[in-house]
Amino acid sequence: MDSLRRWARCLAIGFTALPALSALVSCAVGPDFHTPAAPSVAQYTAGTQPPGTAAADSPQGAAQRFDAGAMVPVDWWTRFGSPGLDRLVADALAASPTLVAAVAKLRQAQEDYAARAGGTRWPSADLNLSAKRQQVDLASFGITSVPNPGPFSLYNASVDVSYTLDIFGANRRTLEGLAAQTDYARFQWEAARLALAANVVTAAIRRASLRAQLSAAEGALAAQTQQLSITQERLSAGGVAQLDVENQQSLVAQTAATLPALRQQIAQLDHQLALYLGQPPGTFASPELTLHSLQLPEDLPLVLPSALARRRPDVRASEALLHRASADVGVATANLYPRFTLTGSFGSQRTRAADLADSVNVWNIGMSLLQPIFRGGQLRAERRSAVAAYDAALANYQQTVLQGFVQVADALRTLESDAQTLQARSEAATRADRAWRISEARYRAGGISQLALLDAQRQALDTARAQREAQGARLADTAALFQALGGGWQETDHPAASAPASSTRHSTSDATGARFNAD
């Protein structure tokens, strides 16, 4: 037993020192990853980028100002000033199955890294125990003068240790790629979180806007129904013609026909919110959010284009895939070089199990070298394939950055258009409401026909609904700008801050990234 312990201790000490020795004498072949530089542009839109939007004489009609260089707050949805909206987002972030799946994928990536790191950074040791019954036929060896011994049992106990020296960095490049894959899963989680918050905010705002439109339509329907009763009474008294009653009934029917569609859209948004919050639609309590309870954020942060590529989670996820592709090129390059593996084994073979631990009578230490000589061009073709995959990942990264710029530019132009639209619709609604009141007074005085009054009512209804729709669109598009800018993010938000970080992440190069020859 003491002999086994001494051998085990010596072999363990020798092989444990191998990773440090391997790191001293090795180098990682293949390209070192460099984060591509962001496009050097100063603004998102062509021409002169406006400092803000127009104002309108309406709720949610304040002018919005763009603060260039400011960062998006982490809880950006609180800028709408609605505790009810804040609770919806918090509940969704806590219970959404989408985020649960994203966190699980991140844990999977972390465990994949841990498994490969444990299998390559340190020597592997395996204990083998076996027992078998044997019979030796001496006559088969030409020995006939000695009688054959009887069957006997042979017991074997050994410890096998092996370690592949990472001379050319194949293992390190593999771990680098797995670390980049972990980064990708982390940024995918962040992107899912951002999209979920934006979807909840947008759905809640649209629901509040539709509720306001429904309320305006129901109020107009009540007024029109009352007007119909008055018209029918006047018909009985001979004061109006039957055509006037038919016209009023037609207007009531047209207004009533708009209500089911609005209620259906509200119900669909309730179902969507239930999905975001991880609840069945049948048990979901609809939020009591009104359009007037939501505040329009007036000071909007505007991340610089150069910083956007460092903050948007989809861009950073694409960068992680680019890093993984770069590491794969290193692995394919290292496969062209020799591979050195050290092995060691010690143990005992005895005919009695009780004697196995007495001493070591079987041991070996060796080294093997594997150098590919001829593979029919396989290894170089695999490296060229890895280079092509890197080029594709680089193009996808550049496309993702451009898409981010386009989304921010679209959001800025949309907010400008929303402000102008709300300004025009608010003025139209004010004038239409004034015209309706004047028409009612003139109609009671007998100055205009009922058809003219009905036209004034119809215009007031349409403009009021259009104004509320413009208010909701402006709020929703403000949320879209926060989302396009990448939302807010901080390290403590990550579900697993201990995940391995990819190496060489802070290096930078030109916009083409790391370049290398295909052969």
pLDDT in tens, 105-126: 999 999 999 999 988 888 888 8
**Is residue 189 a contact partner of residue 102, using CB atoms and an 8 Å limit?**
yes
DSSP letter for each residue of 76-122: GGGGG--HHHHHHHHHHHHH-HHHHHHHHHHHHHHHHHHHHHHHHSS
Domains defined for the chain, CATH in brackets: 2-41+67-139+149-293+304-490 (1.20.1600.10)
Gap between the Cα atoms of 210 and 5, Å rounded: 78
CA-to-CA distance for 274 and 276, rounded, in angstroms? 5
Chain centroid, CA 398 distance in Å: 18
Write down the pLDDT at residue 448. 83
User: Hey, what amino acid is at 41?
Assistant: V
Torsion sign across C-alpha atoms 241, 242, 248, 254: negative
- What pLDDT sits at residue 334? 92
Cβ(326)–Cβ(383) below 8 Å: no
Radius of gyration of the chain (CA): 37
Q: What is the pLDDT of residue 503?
A: 43
Residue 248 pLDDT: 84
286's CB contacts (< 8 A; 6+ apart) are: 207, 270, 273
Yes or no: say if 192 and 318 are a contact pair by the CB < 8 Å rule. Answer: no
- Residue whose C-alpha is closest to residue 341's, from 156, 118, 171, 159: 171
Distance CA 262, CA 223 (A): 19
Angstrom CA distances, 438 to 45, 223, 239, 414, 460, stand at: 45, 16, 21, 35, 12
* Closest to 118 measured CA to CA, from 174, 169, 168, 167: 174
Distance CA 53, CA 478 (A): 12
Residue 153's H or E segment, with its range, is strand 152-165
**DSSP-based three-state secondary structure for 238:** coil
What share of residues in the chain are helix, strand, coil (percent, to 5)? Answer: 60, 10, 30
Residue 361: strand, helix, or coil = coil
Burial class (CB in 10 A: 0-12, 13-18, 19+), 302: buried
What is the predicted pLDDT for the residue at 519?
A: 52
31 and 21 Cβ atoms separated by less than 8 Å: no
Contacts of 347 (CB under 8 A, 6+ apart): 128, 156, 157, 158, 159, 360, 362, 363
Cβ–Cβ < 8 Å for 38, 306 = yes
Q: What are phi and psi of 19, to 5 degrees?
A: -55, -45
Place of tokens 């109006």: 240
pLDDT at 403: 94
Could you tell me the two tokens for 381?
A: 């073709």
Residue matched to tokens 């890895």: 386
Q: Residue 512 has what pLDDT?
A: 39
187: enclosing H helix or E strand: helix 170-236
Distance separating alpha carbons of residues 64 and 51, to the nearest angstrom: 9
Helices (H), 237-293: 242-276
Task: Please tell me whether residue 368 adopts helix, strand or coil conformation.
Answer: strand
Tokens of 502: 């990819």
Tell me, rounded to whole angstroms, the distance of Cα 159 from its chain centroid: 46
Task: Give me the pLDDT at residue 1, please.
Answer: 47
Q: Please give the pLDDT value at position 294.
A: 93
What does residue 150 show for φ and ψ, rounded to 5 degrees?
A: -75, 170
Locate 289 and state its tokens: 């959010």
Alpha carbon distance 93, 91 (integer Å): 6
339-350/362-370 β-pairing: antiparallel
Residues in the chain with pLDDT values less than 50 = 1, 4, 24, 491-492, 497-499, 503-515, 518
Q: Do residues 234 and 240 lie in contact, with contact meaning Cβ atoms separated by under 8 Å?
A: yes
Between CA 317 and CA 78 the distance in angstroms is 26
Which burial class, exposed, middle or buried, applies to 506 when counting CB atoms under 10 A from its CB (0-12, 13-18, 19+)? exposed
Between the alpha carbon of residue 178 and those of residues 70, 206, 386, 500, the distances in Å are: 34, 41, 15, 9
Rounded CA separation 407/102 (Å): 24
Look at residue 506 in the predicted model and tell me its pLDDT.
37
pLDDT attached to residue 196:
96
